[in-house]
Amino acid sequence: MAIVFERMTRMRFRCRITGVGPPLFRQAFPMSSMLPDCHHNKIICLIPASTKRCLSTVSTSTSSIEKDDNFVRVRFAPSPTGNLHVGGARTALFNYLFARSKGGKFLLRIEDTDLERSTRESEEAVLKDLSWLGLHWDEGPDIGGNYGPYRQSERNALYKQYAEKLLNSGHVYRCFCSNKELEKMKEIAKLKQLPPVYTGKWASASDEEVQEEIRKGTPFTYRFRVPKEGSLKINDLIRGEVSWNLDTLGDFVVMRSNGQPVYNFCVTVDDATMAISHVIRAEEHLPNTLRQALIYKALGFQMPYFAHVSLILAPDKSKLSKRHGATSVGQFKEMGYLPNAMVNYLALLGWGDGTENEFYTLEQLVDKFTIERVNKHGAVFDSTKFRWMNGQYLKLLAPQELAKLLGHHWKRTGILMESEGLFVEEAVELLKDKVDLISDSENALTNFLSYPLFETLSSSEAKPVLGDSLSEFANSLLAAYDSGELFDALNQGKPGWQNWVKSFGKSVKRKGKSLFMPLRVLLTGKLHGPDIGASVVLLHTLGSGDIVASEIGFVTLEERIKLLKEVEWKSFNNNQTVLEPAIISQ
């Protein structure tokens, strides 16, 4: 990663380092050979010879993290404080795709230093969601690896070791300022309209002053010495050149007074000692890069490449949050989204291969993915398109697999007593075109099983059907049923229905909509729905409806015929509302 440390004038010593190579960490090097050659990266360090803020290299033994310069190692590092957000899932996906496309390693690291909010339940949920998406890691807290432990809470000894190295080298110092003193500094800076940088005395305190406070038992933090002048620039793989002025930062804390390391210090030490070559993360972490770059330099570690992915936005272009609806992987899973559809859709939020294609398997994404084609602008999460895409994936499933999914859902939600069988298979085939989510199938099936005849006949939309001699048509249908010809035809399945309806249409001198609309209303109780022939055959196949839970109130085909015989057609023709109990024979 290209980095430029630029100090202003008035300097008595200048050290220039050029040629930053592929960013894999090795043993600390002297300033003249700290980083290998590469044609597109450069570090310039301008360091005054006589200041305690010198960014000298720390001599440490880190041979265990030597790696081939061309070997890619990336990580996804969630905090187990809640559910896996879709933004985090996309970051994990981009890391996974980059690693697999380069033949590298994908690591999972748990950043659980927030001990009050972190839970193992959240950690397990995150791991479960990543596995559900098919993003399997090569190293992590559950499978181990050569660079563990993979939970930050288990790496405290390592953080303290590197903090002491920084203290011994002069890159950090003990700060004994109280919270009251620090707040006063912030207030003064605010009044002067200056950045809230540290201005306390402990950056230049004598050893005697420090030892006196230690003897008193005064709590202290470890604060990093930041150069007072200059700027830092990185060449982000997605965003291009990004720079910060160092005078806006001020000396920052790396270890709290309770001995706990802060986030930026932990992340830097972890990425370095785990030999992470590329840090691909959300753009909200971009400001952290300044602190982390200074720590990398002070510890003598080579910088990784950085790539900061844009935020996922809501339709109103604000950051996607809970107020916009479902935002976590677990929520979408419960709603009935498929993992391959979610992976496909998340990949398209800020990335594309330059073609019009919108559908990719995970394997195809690995083959097509490049970090250069990741867009630096925010991507809008379109829930309508995501739903549509999921529907396309559902329709591509093998009939047996789709029947298994929907049958299980129907039984789990209490609609059916069984999750498989002939009815389930035929119901899935009939209803699948109206199902974009697995959860949609619940309403689709309950609607299919319902018989809202009286509500339909009472609606304004049914007036044209009623006015087309529906009562006379109903009498003809009842006669066909009583004669046994309709029952016999349905026993022959769809071919039998087709032959019967053709013959019946001739007998009542109707065809097309004038034939099928009244048949739909009378036999299904609705004005709209799936294919009428397939629907009636399936209702006949269902028979007494033992497979349907009693709570659903399913009305069998035979019971529907009985209800038709009780309809007071004159009441509907006179636009009177007829209550269902008044016309049902008990």
Catalytic positions, written as ranges:
322
CA angle 577, 580, 584 (to 5 degrees): 130
Task: Please state, as a whole number, how many other Cβ atoms lie within 10 Å of the Cβ of residue 383.
Answer: 14
Dist CA 426 CA 403 (whole Å): 9
Whole-number Å distance between alpha carbons of 142 and 559: 57
Using only C-alpha atoms, the chain has a radius of gyration, in whole angstroms, of 35
d(CA 96, CA 73): 10
The answer to whether residues 81 and 114 touch, using CB atoms and an 8 Å cutoff, is: yes
Report the alpha-carbon distance of residue 164 to residue 172 in Å, rounded: 9
Exposed e or buried b per residue across 36-61, where buried means at least 16 C-beta atoms within 10 angstroms of its C-beta: eeeeebbbbbbbbeeeebbbebbebe
Query: How is 4-68 classified by DSSP, letter by letter?
Result: EEE--SS-S--EEEE---S----S---GGGSS---TT-EEEE---TT-TT--PPP----GGG---
Beta strands in 418-471 (DSSP E): none
Contacts of 126 (CB under 8 A, 6+ apart): 78, 80, 83, 84
